[in-house]
Amino acid sequence: NAGVMQNPRHLVRRRGQEARLRCSPMKGHSHVYWYRQLPEEGLKFMVYLQKENIIDESGMPKERFSAEFPKEGPSILRIQQVVRGDSAAYFCASSPEAIDEQFFGPGTRLTVL
């Protein structure tokens, strides 16, 4: 059973461009979470999705950030008009049930020039 997959692993964008981060959860997992890790900090929760629904987006910045988890295909975290402060590692996790262990992907490291 393949683990959580994220791509790309590294992404470089110039200020003002869009970044799209993809996450394929483990097989059989319908719960997906996105976390952001800034340099020298722990992970901060951004959003929790369950197939086609956003369950909790309390950690997501109100502007420029959006997330989806369509019926088919990976979950997407989209950042519009990126700024230097968006440079971070973005981790996706999935779980089989709502209250359960979360399995983490390898992360996407976004660098904004």
Partner 1 sequence: AQSVTQPDIHITVSEGASLELRCNYSYGATPYLFWYVQSPGQGLQLLLKYFSGDTLVQGIKGFEAEFKRSQSSFNLRKPSVHWSDAAEYFCAVGAMEYGNKLVFGAGTILRVKS
Compute the C-alpha angle 68/109/87, nearest 5°: 90
Q: Is 96 in the site for partner 1 (CB under 8 A)?
A: no
Token pair recorded at residue 101: 């262990």
In the stretch 64-93, what mask flags binding to partner 1 with x, by CB under 8 A?
A: ---------------------------x--
Q: Is 58 in the site for partner 1 (CB under 8 A)?
A: yes
DSSP 34-46: EEEE-TTS-EEEE
Phi/psi of residue 84, each to 5°? -60, -35
Q: Is 94 in the site for partner 1 (CB under 8 A)?
A: no
Interface pick for partner 1 out of 1, 28, 39, 41 (rule CB under 8 A): 41
Q: Is 101 in the site for partner 1 (CB under 8 A)?
A: yes
Q: Is 25 in the site for partner 1 (CB under 8 A)?
A: no
Q: How many residues bind partner 1 (CB under 8 A)?
A: 26
Token pair recorded at residue 39: 């340099």
Interface pick for partner 1 out of 43, 67, 88, 112 (rule CB under 8 A): 43
Residue nearer to partner 1 on the CB measure, 17 or 26: 26
Token pair recorded at residue 22: 């993809």
Burial of 65-84, coded b for 16+ CB within 10 Å and e otherwise, reads bebbbeeeebbbbebeebee
